[in-house]
Chains A and B, each alone.
Chain A
């Protein structure tokens, strides 16, 4: 899989959760990229994604800034 395809795959997964109303609840950065926790709107379900591509990490970071601005 090309890096671009990998990014698209990561972006689609992120968009899937955001589209269902999840919020980014935590980011753990490590040597393999970032582990991003998503929190369901009802507050009792979390989902986790490993985001490895640089563009993927830029993408969720941009969403996080937008999310923080909306607080």
Chain B
């Protein structure tokens, strides 16, 4: 069995699966139950001046039968006194000394506020700190959370203040509600962050009730934007992790967060540069015991690949992620329809004919049987037919060897520049 232990900037845990700072880590009772179930770490629900919450806090989108494809919340940070949380953190750490407990923190952007809370939480034995610069609702209106996290100078300054007194590793949690997350990630590094985590939730309004015209959720007829998470945000989160992982000035470990629901998602994040992952929505949907499948699946995957430690996969796909300008313009794939598997539903033909490149013909063979065929010379390899096809294995995307050498957009533009510089003037 592969070794699943990780070490994220000095924070050790028995496996890469941590619970994210959120409702599942609200109390010692919950975190201890999570550790009993197998979670390797937990980021405690954000500590700060205890807040007041509203009733009616969550909403979810179900899509084509999948419950909780996306999840939204307008709950704030902890509403319990700091002393109560600290006592439970101490007791939990005492019971589970080998599990990682990270304290998520959020206070006003004042040096003395950060110094005070850092010292108090470290006194009870946390393994690390996570600075919450990401919460997009409620706290942001008070200058905290994503309001801080959207300003690189504030991220850097507050990280620096924390590092002035912190004795444990400092993780900076970043907001995705920003054009370029590498700007704030770099600011965190400049402030001395030992690691970064991403993504926090995305600004969202889940819906409007067609009968009452109320927002979903609503609080006595009024709504406010919430934070979106769950499986729907995974591609956004994965891109942000990858962008940070490949950035030359961001050289700290990454804790990946955003829609991670199973071991496969976790592997994807780790391949794209995450040292470990944090999970919330999946646990809220299915309970703490989903971690059993995550651990078993990850372990089997590593064994099947002949990999002895999970840390070996960290970042292995990062070199494969680049800018569009570095992609080979002469690489070609085309669709191939396997007529023995195809059920002739014609979805591929409709999609191609209406919205793509009109290269799938509906034909009839000599026996009068209908079949679909791709005109490969007109196929641009867009993948749409295989995406809309309801039958696995009915459409394969096949590589077509190119007669032309590799040519990227950047190489092409450079060649055009050379040609312009060397142009011979000729009068006809």
B-binding residues in A (CB < 8 A): 2-4, 24-27, 29, 37, 39, 43-46, 58-59, 61-62, 64-66, 68, 71
Contact = CB atoms under 8 A, between A and B. Distances in A.
Interface of B: 329-330, 375, 377-378, 404-405, 407, 411-412, 415-416, 418-420, 422-424, 426, 428
A62 B378 contact: no
A25 B423 contact: yes
Nearest to A71: B422
B378 A4 contact: yes
A51 to B, nearest CB: 13
Nearest to B422: A71
Given A3-B378, A25-B424, A45-B426, A58 B419 contact: no
Q: In this complex, which of B329, B411, B416 has the most chain A Cβ atoms within 10 angstroms of its Cβ?
A: B416
Contact of B423 (A26, A58, A59, A68): A26
Contacts of B404: 58-59, 62
B120 to A, nearest CB: 62
A21 to B, nearest CB: 14
Interface of chain B: mostly helix, strand, loop or mixed:
loop
Contacts of B329: 58, 61
B378 A58 contact: no
A68 B378 contact: no
A65 B426 contact: no
Nearest to A64: B415
Given A25-B419, A45-B426, 12 more contacts: A4-B377, A24-B419, A25-B423, A25-B426, A26-B419, A26-B420, A26-B423, A29-B416, A44-B426, A46-B426, A65-B405, A65-B412
Contact of B411 (A2, A45, A59, A65): A65
A14 B297 CA distance: 55
23 contacts: A2-B378, A4-B375, A4-B377, A4-B378, A25-B419, A26-B419, A26-B420, A27-B416, A44-B426, A58-B407, A61-B329, A61-B407, A61-B412, A61-B415, A62-B330, A62-B407, A64-B415, A64-B416, A65-B411, A65-B412, A65-B415, A66-B405, A68-B418
A70 to B, nearest CB: 12
Contacts of A65: 405, 407, 411-412, 415
A45 B424 CA distance: 11
A44 B330 CA distance: 33
Nearest to A40: B426
Nearest to B420: A26
A18 B423 CA distance: 17
Contacts of B426: 25, 39, 43-46
